[in-house]
Chains A and B, each alone.
Chain A
Amino acid sequence: MSVAVVVFPGSNCEHDVVHAIRALGGEAELVWHRDTDLAGADAVVLPGGFAHGDALRTGAIARFSPVMASVQSMAESGRPVLGICNGFQILCEAGLLPGALIANRDLAFICRMIEVEVTDTATVLTAAARLGQRLMIPLNSYEGNWVDPAGEGRVVVRYVGDPNGSQDRAAAVANAAGNVAGVMPHPERATESMLGSVDGRILLEGFLASVRATSNV
């Protein structure tokens, strides 16, 4: 069971995600955005960063990268697909998640540890969490403000405060099937106590458990 971590030009959290997954006992490999084959991976993570320099708007170019066709079919086949930060933005642009991410309410980049609460545990991101469980995870974004005009999005993790104006205080959302999730804070940055929190493990371990469960099918 292995996780493909996609590298777009401008991605910058790809090595961090691989590091965190491997430290939790998972397997992860980097895949270049021009590749069309996910090399037999059982799941995919779109990491944080600034894919294609956020040209036009975040994720707007990345959704057309050749690799996205494979990401789409993986999502449709029920495999776990996770977008973190910029990856979340790309999944929204690609139509794999509802809504869109716009500039933070205060029009400033936010980088700080933040408290979130799990509100739905039936997704690949939250499978190992308890309902109502509170986690400390770093937020690190400028366009972290989720809007969902249709109001049909499934919010699975909420901010305890309101750092960026996100609708329903959404920190993470999922598709109806629960196999595609996007999270704005960075769970990979909260997996070692020396870095300030280990709460991100709960999300990543749940994701890896979901990968194992689906790859055994």
Chain B
Amino acid sequence: MSEQTAVHRALGMTDGEYDSVIDILGREPRTAELAMYSVMWSEHCSYKSSRSHLGRFPSEAPWVVVGPGENAGVVDLGDGWLAALRIESHNHPSFVEPYQGAATGVGGILRDVFTMGARPIALWDQIRFGPLDIPKNRYLFGGVVAGIAGYGNAVGVPTVGGEVAFDECYSANPLVNVMCLGIMRREQLVLGTAGSAGSLALLLGKPTGRDGIGGASVLASASFDDESGAKRPSVQVGDPFEEKKLIEACLELYARGLVVGVQDLGAAGLSCATSEPAARAGMGMDVDLDAVHVRESGMTAAELLMSESQERMMAFVEPSRVDDVLAVASKWEIDARVVGTVTAGHTLRIRFQGELVAEVPAASLSEAAPRYDRPAAEPAWLRPRWADTLDHSEAPDLGSVLLALLDDPSIASAAWAFQQYDHMLFLDTVVGPGHDGSLLRLKGTDKGLAVSTDGNGRLCFLDPFRGAERLVYEAALNVAVVGAEPMAVVDNLNFGNPEKPEVMWQFRQSIEGISAACEHLGVPVVGGNVSFYNETDGVDIHPTPVVGLLGMAEPMPDRPPRLDAAASGMDVWMFGPPAIDLAGSSLERVIHGHLGGRPMGADPDMATAVIALARRLAARGTAALHDVSDGGLAVALAEICIRSEVGAEISVDDWRLAFSEAPHLLLAALDPGFDAASLAAAAGVPAVRLGTFGGDRIILRSPDGTCDIALSEAAEAYTDSIPRRLR
């Protein structure tokens, strides 16, 4: 192996990719150039294995202002308001260093949103770990929650929802996905463009150091093994105070119209923040690395270009506005330096210490990145898995099954985590964490913004199309439960090693499933993130696409349904088509340790009908309304009972219906006078009154047995499950 081969391979680049660089440049690349191509062409930055499939997503709708490809998607909320939304993963960094990995995940997603001109108003976290009986998983879970809290609280953006789940497949590869929502007035929208020739590039924020070098290429785009601890220096270190000042400074720059474009510095750092805006503008750029403010001496050009130091932004400014921009930076006590000039032509030229260290076509770093259409094949194990079903003909002890489910950390209350997050800042959180969907009011309007984030690796493992399709319908139902109509989706596609055909097949099936549901609902996908190589020692995680769905309620319900608002004397209603679907269910996981069978597919027309009914119920003062998901009807009922501190007594025709996780099913607490039957009939949705709320026991009768447990016992299992495992 020659010395040069060793270098590009160590940077995560294949021999074929190296040859492509030589083709583009017509010569061997210089060291700094090779560094730039290696990070920009990494899987994490270039989406080289996924890009050819992401075009499948429906991404257009009249209300889409900015679709996929920019820093965040933007949709029109009406009355001059826009929302920006984005989701991103920080899986690999969080495994190597959980606190900083999660913290910088929060910081990065915030920058994606305020880069667009929006003020970030809320965050959601989707986090998945291995079982808590393994000490390493407790350390990772605790560290990630502390990192989210430490950064999110201090930066001053509330974390208002999300999901916590545990499964063996995440033991050596946790998932940390963060979604952010921002709002802005239409005139504040800013794009990541360098503007015209003569514009100046100003680097704002923290000094550049050696942290995070190769984070995108070395860490995020490769699999794990025993040596992963040695990659710790590739994890960036976050500083929420710098980010807070950067947010306020940037929002002031936008409000005063002082910038023509902005690009945040995330993965691939300066390499990305110079080449991408130049390419988008069809321009070139001259960059002077000596002008970059640094926090350590002796950094090479390649290190400066690859560093992923946090809390930095590149602003593109007309020369006449530079003094105003510097004054704003000075007020907010952040550093700002002119580091480049936009030029006519398409060449990115970078100078350092009197030397030309890079001279490349700007667009070649992003647009000429390799694309791989990797082979995909249905896994050989799949159909045998479908045939591997459990026999549920005999009823277990229903009370102990329900208690075991409530005590399962994936189902139990996640209050231990979200009570460490500030979820009330900005006075907008009408329905906060621990509900199906979060609801935020938009002050000064009668609009409410609802978001649900959902993932289910087990369903997607058994059937990635059906699993992913159902996620979208579940998220849409979750926002409908608080009165909102679905508007836009962002997705975070967490998968294993794409070089394996079965992983690629799972990936493509999931995209098809998400696309099918979005097309049926008329909801565009406005952005997303792909995280591949979630494998350790050759074992892939379950395919875990995560869907973040934004909905709008207008007008916002006066009293949106809440899980804690049921009361004694109210009726228990079930809406939707009851069906027995136990493949991939929590019952099979918790009680039987089983993963097999084929889960039901979605019924798109029924999904639409139930979603519409949920919105009507929410608008008409329904006390509690809950999507039936993990653990089925029994768990959904118990959650309402525990949160509302009231018992209930219901009957079902078949015990299996109590734990079935069939889609499109709602549970509601309604006043006895409420004519639910007519409302449901008009919507074309089956409805049945199952029983009433009252007393201090949860009683569930079936022809095959009865669950009769004390509310207090259920509540203790549910609320103490996670704290007990961490003590």
Contacts and interface: CB of A to CB of B under 8 A. Distances in A.
A142 B524 CA distance: 40
B424 A189 contact: yes
Interface stretch (A45-53, A126-134, A168-176): A45-53
Interface stretch (B49-57, B415-423, B514-522): B415-423
Interface string A25-67: 0000000100000000000000001101111000000000000
B452 interface: no
Interface string A157-181: 0000000000000000000000000
B427 A109 contact: no
B424 A138 contact: yes
B240 A111 contact: no
Nearest to B416: A108
B357 interface: no
Contacts of B426: 15-16
Interface string A1-43: 0000000011011011001100000000000100000000000
B419 A110 contact: yes
B621 interface: no
A53 B241 CA distance: 5
Nearest to B429: A195
B427 A12 contact: no
Nearest to B421: A111
A108 B727 CA distance: 14
A194 B441 contact: yes
A111 B245 contact: no
B90 interface: no
B487 interface: no
A123 interface: no
Contact of B420 (A12, A111, A189): A111
A76 interface: no
A142 B239 CA distance: 17
Given A9-B333, A12-B156, A112-B419, A50 B241 contact: yes
Given A16-B425, A50-B156, A189-B427, A10 B420 contact: no
Given A50-B154, A109-B149, A19 B333 contact: no
Contacts of A189: 424, 427
B644 interface: no
A188 B427 CA distance: 8
Give the interface centre of A15, A54, A108 by most chain B CB atoms within 10 Å.
A108
Given A9-B332, A10-B244, A111-B419, A195 B153 contact: no
Contacts of A186: 424
B430 interface: yes
Contacts of B424: 111, 138, 140, 186, 189, 195
A148 interface: no
Interface string B362-375: 00000000000000
Counting chain B CB atoms within 10 Å of each CB, which of A54, A111, A186 scores highest? A111
A109 B425 contact: no
A53 B427 contact: no
Contact of A50 (B244, B331, B427): B244
A203 to B, nearest CB: 16
B420 A52 contact: no
Contact of B422 (A10, A140, A192): A140
Contact of B421 (A9, A13, A15, A109): A109
A192 B154 contact: no
B430 A195 contact: yes
Contacts of A142: 153
Contact of A10 (B245, B331, B419): B245
Contacts of B154: 10, 50, 53-54
A52 B239 CA distance: 12
Interface in B211-254: 239-242, 244-245, 248
Nearest to A13: B425
B429 A9 contact: no
Contact of B430 (A9, A50, A110, A194): A194
A208 to B, nearest CB: 17
Nearest to B152: A109
Interface string B415-447: 000111111111101100000000001010000
B443 to A, nearest CB: 8
A52 B430 contact: no
Contacts of A13: 425
Interface in B13-41: none
Contacts of B239: 53
Contacts of B241: 9-10, 50, 52-55
Contact of B244 (A9, A20, A195): A9
The 6 closest A-B pairs by CB, nearest first: A53-B241, A12-B156, A109-B420, A50-B154, A109-B149, A112-B419
Given A10-B244, A19-B443, 16 more contacts: A9-B333, A10-B156, A16-B426, A32-B331, A50-B241, A54-B154, A55-B241, A109-B422, A111-B422, A111-B423, A111-B424, A186-B424, A188-B427, A189-B427, A195-B429, A195-B430
Interface of B: 149, 153-156, 239-242, 244-245, 248, 331-333, 418-427, 429-430, 441, 443
8 contacts: A9-B245, A50-B154, A53-B244, A109-B419, A112-B419, A138-B424, A140-B422, A140-B424
